[in-house]
Structures are given as structure tokens and as C-alpha cells.
């Protein structure tokens, strides 16, 4: 677009990237695009900005715009991951073996901590109980 007075180009016109149905989703998309240095313009529909102002939350749809030159890049960023991830869901036998070793190490650490607290707290507690009983029974 060009300025009718001076003829200079305005720059990129905003292009509609998507419409989301909650402000949380809009904020997440905005953060993702800003991490990639893509400017974002959010426009709430049907008075969503007023609702957000008064209530702190808005359930109105929000249109998300990006510069038209960067629309393709933004669409690629929002493309979901492929559904064919079956190889990642199968358990890895090497991981299972390490998991058992890790569990044994953790149990060993917990046992050591238990014995430490028994020695530090238990033995003095037993001594205090015997001292109290000796005073009560006058032995």
C-alpha cells in the first residue's frame, strides 16, 4: 500500500494468520512468533478487549495478524507435528535397564538417609526417654 499524499510505501500490510478461541492460546501463539522475530497484532472480536479489561478474562475469539511477507513463515511455525510418531512411543529397552538401576540407587540413598536420621535423632531421643523415666521412678 502507498500513501496517497507522498507516494511512499506504508510497509507490510497485516495478514490474518488465524483465529483462536481463548486469550491464553493467543498469548502462546504470540510468544512463539515473537521468539522467531515475527511481529504480531492481536485483535479481539465482539468486545473481547472490554471483557478482558473488566473481568480479567475474555472468551471472545481473537484474530492474530502478522506482516504479509512473513505469513508463510508463521504458518509453518503453527503447523502441527506429524502424527506418525509411533517409533517414539515404543519403550526403549536400554532406558528400561537404566531406569531399574536408577531406582535401586535412589532406594540406596533413601536407606542411607534413614539410618543417618535414626542415629542423629533416634539415639538422643532414647537417651532423653531413659532420663525422664529415671527421674519419674527415682532410680
User: Is 0.75 surpassed by the pTM of this model?
Assistant: no
Q: Kindly state the DSSP code that residue 88 receives in the 8-state scheme.
A: H
What would the CATH number be for the domain defined by 14-78?
A: 3.30.70
Kindly list the distances between the CA atom of residue 62 and the CA atoms of 20, 38, 41, 67, 92, in Å, as whole numbers in the listed order. Answer: 5, 18, 10, 17, 42
- How do the pLDDT tens digits run along the chain, 139 residues long? 555 555 555 567 889 999 988 878 888 999 999 998 889 998 887 765 666 666 666 667 889 999 888 888 899 888 887 666 555 566 667 777 777 788 888 888 889 988 888 888 888 888 899 999 988 888 6
Ordered by start, the domain boundaries in the chain are: 14-78, 86-137
Amino acid at each position: 500500500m502507498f500513501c496517497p499524499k507522498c507516494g511512499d510505501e506504508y510497509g507490510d500490510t497485516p495478514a490474518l494468520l488465524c483465529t483462536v478461541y481463548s486469550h491464553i492460546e493467543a498469548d502462546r501463539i504470540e510468544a512463539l512468533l515473537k521468539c522467531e522475530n515475527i511481529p504480531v497484532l492481536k485483535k479481539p472480536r465482539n468486545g473481547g478487549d472490554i471483557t478482558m479489561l473488566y473481568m480479567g478474562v475474555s472468551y471472545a475469539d481473537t484474530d492474530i495478524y502478522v506482516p504479509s511477507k512473513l505469513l508463510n513463515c508463521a504458518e509453518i511455525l503453527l503447523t502441527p507435528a506429524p502424527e506418525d510418531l509411533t517409533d517414539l512411543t515404543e519403550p526403549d529397552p536400554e532406558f528400561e535397564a537404566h531406569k531399574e538401576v536408577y531406582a535401586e540407587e535412589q532406594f540406596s540413598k533413601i536407606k542411607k538417609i534413614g539410618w543417618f536420621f535414626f542415629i542423629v535423632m533416634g539415639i538422643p531421643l532414647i537417651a532423653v526417654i531413659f532420663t525422664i523415666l529415671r527421674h519419674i521412678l527415682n532410680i
